Amino acid sequence: MGMWIGRGVKARRCYGFDEIALIPRSLTINPQDTDLTWRIGTLELEIPILASAMDGVVDVRFAIEMGNLGGLAILNLEGIQTRYDDPSEIIKEIISPASEKDIESVQAAYSKPIKETLISQRIEEIKRGGGYAAVSAIPQRAERFGKIAQKAGADIFVIQSTVAAPKHISSTYKSLDLEKFCKMMRIPVIAGNCVTYEVALALIKTGIAGLLVGIGPGAACTTRGVLGIGVPQATAVCDTAAARDFHYKQTGKYVPIIADGGMVTGGDICKAFACGADAVMIGSALARTKEAPGQGYHWGMATSDVNLPRGTRIYVGVTGSLKEILFGPARLDDGSQNLIGALRTSMGSLGVKNISEMQLTEMIIAPAIQTEGKIFQAVQKVGMGSSKGDAEAGI
């Protein structure tokens, strides 16, 4: 399988969400009768949307509100929230400089050491607010921060890196034994990110409770440009979901796939579920909320890297409250608001009752799906001709 790209070299054709479309069948369902609940470990959540562990998106206040609305927000334990007693002041500095100094200002803000006391404090603040405390760290700090987070009452621990693999070799630091770590932790462990069947299957076998899928599709991520690594999200989700299903048939243990990045509109989210996702993690769409600490600015976790940044700072604007963007009513015509309403309506139109059935939806390759008949929208920059392209460009 594959196409020739040169003498003796073949490459497989892969697809992004913009290149596929969903096909309805001979049944429709009232959208209000659809079930969006999903499970991660022992937790059952009302909506299958997670907020990315990015400092422009999630702080304590946002995590509490996201939990109140039935979702889950991931707090970055290596970000602004654990480096500063009052994160609001440093965020003002990050979002204020002229564009040519964006990276330098972010790098400077993240040069201050992490305060481990703030890890416990932030988790306790979220718990006091009634939300689920889900937190993240890179593999090198997972053992240390995992113990602190678990003791403080965290509900979920996320290990996140640009590219995750079941084995890692390093001559300068001790590599994380993921299987041992999962056995040590008494709370669910989510790990990622990956994009292939083989790696997904190997990671799932370590005992993780959830798998993050996606390398470089995020609006503020530059990994694909800097490193040349990545797989378009539709194909990545399909391949990793196949690994999940194979593992389930072998062991009876179901490990949810979480599509991470590359989704700007409700339509993108619907396609992610049709490709096999159990939940989605989004950043830029939620960075637009009034509750987001970035006040309309959004930057990736690797933006602050002092040697080779793999992210940038973008402006997405503030378009509504978290409740409006998740549940409506939509005040924009571009699909960026009422994401849950869009998912329910899509499921109803496709005749599926829950996420598991959504994963069985027929799909087609449709390169013209975004442009066919949309010349007026494109020229006038309304509807499908407006925010998606703008958001991806950081406008």
3-state SS of the chain is CCEEEECCEEECCCCCHHHEEEECCCCCCCHHHCECCEEECCEEECCCEEECCCCCCCCHHHHHHHHHCCCEEEEECCCHHHCCCCHHHHHHHHHCCCHHHHHHHHHHHCCCCCCHHHHHHHHHHHHHCCCCCEEEECHHHHHHHHHHHHHHCCCEEEEECCCCCCCCCCCCCCCCCHHHHHHHCCCCEEEEEECCHHHHHHHHCCCCCEEEECCCCCCCECHHHHHCCCCCHHHHHHHHHHHHHHHHHHHCCCCCEEEECCCCCHHHHHHHHHHCCCEEEECHHHHCECCCCCCCEEECCCCCCCCCCCECEEECCCCECHHHHHHCCCCCCCCCCCHHHHHHHHHHHHCCCEHHHHCCCEEEECCCCCCCCCHHHHHHCCHHHCHHHHHHHCC
Domain 16-393 - what CATH class? alpha beta
Q: What is the pLDDT of residue 183?
A: 96
Rounded mean pLDDT of 93-112? 76
pLDDT of 251-307, one tens digit each?
999 999 999 999 999 999 999 999 999 999 999 999 999 999 999 998 877 777 767
Of 182, 221, 238, 270, catalytic: 221
Residue among 132, 319, 310, 135 at smallest CA distance from 215:
310
CB count, 10 Å around CB of 121? 16
Q: Is the confidence at residue 228, as pLDDT, over 80?
A: yes
Q: What residues are paired with 258 via a beta bridge? A: 212, 279
Q: What is the pLDDT of residue 41?
A: 93
Rounded mean pLDDT of 114-128? 97
pLDDT band at 101 (very low <50, low <70, confident <90, very high): low
Token pair, residue 137, equals 């760290």
- Identify whether the C-beta of residue 362 lies closer than 8 Å to the C-beta of residue 25: yes
Separation between Cα atoms, residue 131 and residue 153, nearest integer Å = 11
- Identify whether the C-beta of residue 311 lies closer than 8 Å to the C-beta of residue 222: yes
Q: Is the confidence at residue 99, as pLDDT, over 60?
A: no
Of 244, 288, 313, 344, catalytic: 313
Whether 141 is catalytic is: no
Domains of the chain: which residue ranges? 16-393
Q: What is the pLDDT of residue 97?
A: 63
Whether 221 is catalytic is: yes
Backbone dihedral angles phi then psi of residue 347, each to the nearest 5 degrees: -60, -40
pLDDT of 357-387, one tens digit each?
999 999 999 988 887 787 778 888 888 777 5
